[in-house]
Amino acid sequence: MPHEEWLIRGARLLLPDGVMGRGDALISRGRIAALGGRPAAPSGARVLDARGALLAPGLIDLQINGAWGADFALAPPEAIARAAERLAGDGVTAFLPTLISAPLPRLEAALGRIAAAAALGRGARILGVHLEGPFLAPARRGAHRRAHLRRPSTAEFERLWRASKGLLRLLTLAPELPGAAAVMRAARRRGVLVSLGHTAGDAGDFDRAAAAGARMVTHLFNAMEPFHHRSEGAAGAALTDDRLVCGLIYDRVHVGARAAALALRAKGPRSLVLVSDAVFALGLGPGRCRSGGTDYELRGGEFRVRGGPLGGAVRTLRACAAFFARDLGLPLADAWRLASENPARLLGERLGLAAGRPADLVLVDDGGRVRASFVGGRRWK
């Protein structure tokens, strides 16, 4: 496919590290060729007038189980690629398809399909896979089936790593389980980030895990011991340990606005990451649906196992960022960083608004609507 050239005129620029700029951006050969000022439009370049809208790095979703009817644990590569295209049109330019606990052979098969989808290279980039499980605490399993939870095993971790063809990037585990320390060491050797979650562990378990190299906490406040002033628990450790970046589902269902404000104050603007934790039902209309043998009900932004617990989230990461900004009284740009710059930094990806970087960009208005989005310079909206 020929490379598209675009000149985006008159945008507010969401530059790295809290800096805002103004000016134009030139996209050429899939990269940001020039940024700021008023470069002349090269012949053949298409011009897009931003009219003061925000040009921002694309959103990166570190935790998303499915979207627009595709469950990443079950869908064929073609359906995953179609979901990646829809995500790109909605401002998500990269993501980690996320798999929850399942029998090992099923996880291995899903990892193979996701690797095949990644090779198609359509829509949002698949930067890797997030395995949320199966080494999780039964007492805090949430929507994970008890029968699918396993004692941490380095042999099983290695099996899953091989099945992912190197795509395994993030592993959520409960650090207090016997064998977890060995799996954390194995993950580190493979360059897989460890995130702590679905855990019955206490502050001491989090402290030891952070010392062993754990970098993240999965959906802060959900599926862990809550904060109490005399028994601070996992949430207390997550909020106060500067070694740990915290993921947060801000869909107005999983976490309240004051808890989100507390998390932002405790972690600061660089150590909080918004995630969608969306499931296949994201983008579907309200009503009943079925996947993987389970019946679900979607109503008013809440997605539940029929007659049971929350079954995941159904808001896009873009909606979560917009909710976060509105409810906490922040400019959208500040919330956007939590879902773009921060996950990129955690993954060690050189993305963002700087000349020479890949053109994974979103032009977004103050209401959070996407006017244009690009992945590697290719326009998806």
Catalytic member of 277, 295, 327, 365: 277
Q: Which amino acid is at 9?
A: R
Q: Which amino acid is at 72?
A: F
Separation CA 321–CA 92 (nearest Å): 11
The burial of 62, by beta-carbon neighbours within 10 Å (0-12 exposed, 13-18 middle, 19 or more buried), is given as buried
Map residue 363 onto helix, strand or coil: strand
State in Å, rounded, how far the first CA of the chain is from the last one.
Answer: 17
Separation CA 317–CA 325 (nearest Å): 12
- Asked if 377 and 28 touch (Cβ cutoff 8 Å), the reply is yes
Take residue 68 and report the two structure tokens written for it. 């627009």
Say which residue the tokens 């959103």 belong to: 59
Is-cis flag, bond preceding 152, omega within 30?
no
Q: At what angle do helices 180-189 and 154-163 cross, to 10 degrees?
A: 40
Separation CA 185–CA 183 (nearest Å): 5
- Asked if 63 and 130 touch (Cβ cutoff 8 Å), the reply is yes
277 is catalytic: yes
Active site residues: 277
